């Protein structure tokens, strides 16, 4: 297997795992499912992951990193780990898993736009067209969402989380290349988990006591997914680059919409399909023709 193909396979695995994560999270915190507190839940979920990442940090002797590398790791952690997971979990209380997948489908376009800003280059005409098309799709989703799909506040939080993750994808590759995917993942995940644990600490005992054995199995699966997915993504992104890896995020809506309909009995409406189609069209335009000028 060539390095590029291996990176592509790892990225594909990461996206499949992430596509399923909103289904489990929605079941735990959704207002029409278990309805447990979102912030304590996400703190508990990542607290279960923390020992793995701390063990990796000790194994990799990360204390020898330079101050600049630690500074970049802190930034990546706050943007991509804390900045994604907290607002996404809160938004998931009132937004369906399928809708979350469709909104996350805008991430490749966000990555292209943020990469253009990072390079200090004005986006080309095709990228601007892609942005307008994607914005139209998001507005349609927000205005057409009924109670079963999501409210405007929840949709805004999910979009903010998607933007945070897109920013992480743009800024993390240099750290991945210098320190390797495993060590960079261990450090950024550990640093990003600490604020989530602090934010949810007071409510974590209540959430833990409210979970039965099948619920704990879902939480364990979500925690395992968080570990495996981020390792696969960072390894794949290091090999492909942020924009090429972003192409694979096309799959998020497919997995989330299908899983939400099958496992959570969520409706799939015409508005949702059309709004999601506009977002996917915007992503397709940006990837095929929307190169920075």
Task: Dump pLDDT digits (tens) for 179-225.
Answer: 988 899 999 999 999 999 999 999 999 999 999 999 999 999 999 98
- 17, 225 in Cβ contact below 8 A? yes
What does the pLDDT read at residue 105?
Answer: 75
Give the residue carrying structure tokens 């630690």.
Answer: 70
> Mean pLDDT over residues 254-265, rounded?
81
3-class secondary-structure state, position 17: helix
Predicted structure pTM score: 0.80
CA 215 – CA 202 distance, rounded (Å):
20
Q: What is the pLDDT of residue 258?
A: 79
- Between the alpha carbon of residue 69 and those of residues 174, 188, 213, 227, 276, the distances in Å are 10, 11, 41, 22, 38
Identify the residue with better confidence: 97 or 89: 89
Q: Are residues 106 and 283 in contact, defined by beta-carbon separation less than 8 angstroms?
A: yes
* Confidence band, pLDDT 50/70/90 cuts, at residue 292: very low
Q: For residue range 14-52, list pLDDT tens digits in order.
A: 988 888 888 999 999 998 889 999 999 999 999 999 999
First to last CA, the chain: 34
The span from the CA of 155 to the CA of 141, in Å, is: 9
Residue 168: count of CB within 10 angstroms of its CB: 26
Ranking 60-69, 104-113, 157-166, 277-286 by mean pLDDT, the lowest is 277-286
- pLDDT > 90? residue 92: yes
Euclidean distance between CA atoms 212 and 252, whole angstroms:
29
47: Cβ contacts below 8 Å, ≥ 6 apart:
193, 197, 204
- Average pLDDT value over all residues in the chain: 85
**Domain definitions of the chain by residue range:** 3-288
Residue 8, both tokens: 């592509």
Query: What does the alpha-carbon distance between residue 52 and residue 55 come to, in Å, rounded to a whole number?
Result: 5
* Rounded-to-integer distance, Cα 196 and Cα 173, Å: 24
């Amino acid at each position: 297997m060539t390095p590029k193909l291996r990176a592509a396979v790892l990225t594909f695995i990461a996206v499949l795992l992430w596509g399923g994560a909103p289904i489990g999270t929605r079941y735990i915190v959704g207002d029409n499912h278990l309805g447990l507190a979102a912030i304590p839940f996400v703190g508990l979920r990542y607290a279960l992951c923390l020992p793995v990442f701390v063990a990796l940090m000790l194994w990799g002797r990360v204390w020898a990193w330079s101050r600049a590398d630690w500074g970049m790791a802190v930034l990546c952690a706050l943007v991509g780990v804390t900045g994604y997971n907290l607002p996404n979990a809160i938004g998931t209380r009132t937004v369906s898993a399928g809708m979350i997948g469709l909104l996350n489908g805008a991430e490749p376009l966000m990555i292209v736009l943020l990469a253009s800003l990072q390079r200090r280059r004005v986006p080309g005409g095709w990228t601007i067209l892609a942005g307008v098309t994607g914005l139209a799709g998001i507005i349609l989703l927000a205005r057409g969402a009924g109670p079963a799909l999501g409210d405007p506040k929840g949709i805004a939080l999910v979009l903010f989380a998607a933007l945070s993750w897109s920013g992480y994808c743009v800024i993390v590759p240099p750290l991945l290349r210098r320190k390797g995917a495993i060590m960079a993942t261990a450090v950024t995940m550990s640093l990003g988990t600490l604020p989530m644990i602090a934010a949810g600490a007071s409510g974590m005992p209540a959430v833990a006591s409210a979970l039965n054995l099948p619920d704990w199995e879902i939480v364990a699966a979500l925690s395992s997914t968080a570990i495996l997915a981020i390792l696969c993504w960072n390894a794949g992104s290091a090999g492909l680059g942020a924009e090429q890896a972003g192409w694979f995020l096309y799959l998020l809506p497919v997995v989330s919409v299908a899983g939400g309909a099958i496992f959570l009995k969520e409706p799939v409406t015409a508005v949702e399909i059309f709004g999601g189609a506009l977002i996917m069209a915007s992503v397709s335009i940006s990837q095929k023709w929307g190169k920075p000028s």
